[in-house]
């Protein structure tokens, strides 16, 4: 059963109109137009600099942040790809997870502020993400490499891992996907039953956001929707989803297809939880974050 605090959170999300952000194509286009007029900041909060060394470089047009524990050698490496339906920028909850990984798992976390749709499309985004992942793995250093993505970032992360496997066969130590969006057609028949109880997401808006990210590619192209790609040979997967997340069908399809392909999958489904619950300050969210920290520590150098 969901905690009382998480139930209250879902009610509050509905009350403040959060799900209207993706209510329909017009809402998404309005968000994109507003972002073009007034681009949102992807800068990390200043408080992060008090506990971590933060630097920024550019990979092509992408600002890429490198966040490392202050005063000690990192024990592991993380490539973290943020969510936001491909049209949303890095937010404070994303940076909070980065801070947790740096301080609790002693990880070096690389955070790309990738180009958002419609300027950033799958054919351009996935190769750059694969290059970043490859570089992080090849750089060596202490411990292993964990690839983490949430929502749209999980789709980019999984597509990048697939592309890297095709190039060289290399893989990170583990892939962690939080509320992943992996099929941008948003056409699974089970979503109709979940949608009324989802306090955040609506299919029409997601379809439009997915269309903008797909660009000239078809929705079932693996670069757009990695659920349709080959899953064999991928690193062990950990997946977090909630029963009130419209996209939980993607997680269940991934579980089935990955296990059929011989991939190890650790699956966490939290009752009554919405999309992105591991970022929320509720007991279920804290438990998910603790597990992500533990998984990162597990690949760390002794």
Contact 218, 36 (CB under 8 A): no
Query: Reduced to 3 DSSP states, what percent helix, strand and coil does the chain have, rounded to the nearest 5?
Result: 45, 15, 40
Residue 236 pLDDT class (50, 70, 90 cuts): very high
Of 55 and 1, the one with more pLDDT: 55
Domain 4-298 classification at class level: alpha beta
Model pLDDT for residues 25-73, shown as the tens digit of each residue: 999 999 999 999 999 999 999 999 999 999 999 999 999 999 999 999 9
Question: In whole angstroms, how far apart are CA 225 and each of 2, 156, 181, 214?
Answer: 30, 9, 8, 9
Mean pLDDT over residues 156-177, rounded? Answer: 97
Mean pLDDT over residues 271-280, rounded? Answer: 96
Q: Which residues pair with 107 in a beta bridge?
A: 76
Torsion of CA 238, 242, 246, 252, to 10 degrees: 40
What 8-state DSSP symbol labels residue 257? Answer: H
- Measured between alpha carbons, how far is 238 from 266 in angstroms, rounded to an integer? 5
Domain ranges for the chain, please list them. 4-298
Q: Which residues of 33-71 are buried (b: 16+ CB within 10 A; e: fewer)?
A: eeeeeeeeebebeeebeeebebeeeeeeebbbbebbbee
What's the confidence (pLDDT) of residue 252? 98
Percentage of the residues of the chain whose pLDDT score is greater than 90 = 89
Residue 16 pLDDT class (50, 70, 90 cuts): very low
- Measured between alpha carbons, how far is 128 from 90 in angstroms, rounded to an integer? 18
What's the confidence (pLDDT) of residue 19? 56
Examine the pLDDT at 160 and tell me if it is beyond 60. yes
Examine the pLDDT at 216 and tell me if it is beyond 60. yes
Picking from 143, 141, 152, the residue whose alpha carbon sits closest to that of residue 114 is 152
Question: Strands 107-112 and 62-69, how do they pair?
Answer: antiparallel
Q: How many helices (H) and strands (E) does the chain have?
A: 9, 8
Contact 18, 244 (CB under 8 A): no
Compute φ and ψ for 111, nearest 5 degrees.
-125, 105
What 8-state DSSP symbol labels residue 236? Answer: P
Mean pLDDT over residues 2-13, rounded? Answer: 59
Name the average pLDDT for the chain. 93
Starting at the edge strand found earlier in the chain, the sheet holding 145-150 runs: 52-59, 62-69, 107-112, 76-81, 145-150, 174-178, 237-242, 265-270
Question: In whole angstroms, how far apart are CA 85 and each of 18, 46, 107, 157, 285?
Answer: 14, 25, 26, 13, 20
What's the confidence (pLDDT) of residue 263? 98
Examine the pLDDT at 86 and tell me if it is beyond 90. yes
Length of the chain: 302
pTM, rounded to two decimals: 0.94
Picking from 38, 8, 7, 178, the residue whose alpha carbon sits closest to that of residue 96 is 178
Contact 274, 200 (CB under 8 A): yes
């Amino acid at each position: 059963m969901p905690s009382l605090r998480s139930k209250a959170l879902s009610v509050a999300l509905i009350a403040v109109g959060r799900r209207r952000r993706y209510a329909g194509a017009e809402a998404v286009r309005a968000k994109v137009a507003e972002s073009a007029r007034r681009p949102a900041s992807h800068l990390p909060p200043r408080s992060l600099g008090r506990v971590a060394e933060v630097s920024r470089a550019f990979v092509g047009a992408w600002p890429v942040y490198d966040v490392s524990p202050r005063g000690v050698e990192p024990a592991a490496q993380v490539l973290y790809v943020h969510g936001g339906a491909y049209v949303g920028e890095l937010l404070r909850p994303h940076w909070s997870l980065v801070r947790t990984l740096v301080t609790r798992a002693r990880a070096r976390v690389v955070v790309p502020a990738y180009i958002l749709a419609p300027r950033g499309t799958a054919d351009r985004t996935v190769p750059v993400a694969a290059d970043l992942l490859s570089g992080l793995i090849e750089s060596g250093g202490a411990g292993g490499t964990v690839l983490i993505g949430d929502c749209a970032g999980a789709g980019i992360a999984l597509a990048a891992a697939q592309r890297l496997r095709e190039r060289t066969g290399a893989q990170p130590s583990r892939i962690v996907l939080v509320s992943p969006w992996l099929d941008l057609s948003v056409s699974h028949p089970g979503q109709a039953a979940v949608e009324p109880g989802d306090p955040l997401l609506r299919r029409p808006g997601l379809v439009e956001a997915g269309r903008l990210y797909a660009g000239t590619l078809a929705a079932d192209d693996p670069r757009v929707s990695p659920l349709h790609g080959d899953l064999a040979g991928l690193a062990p997967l950990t997946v977090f989803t909630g029963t009130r997340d419209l996209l939980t069908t993607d997680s269940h399809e991934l579980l089935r297809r990955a296990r059929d392909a011989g991939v190890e999958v650790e699956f966490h489904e939290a009752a009554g939880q919405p999309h992105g619950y591991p970022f929320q300050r509720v007991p279920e969210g804290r438990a998910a974050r603790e597990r992500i920290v533990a998984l990162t520590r597990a690949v760390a150098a002794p």
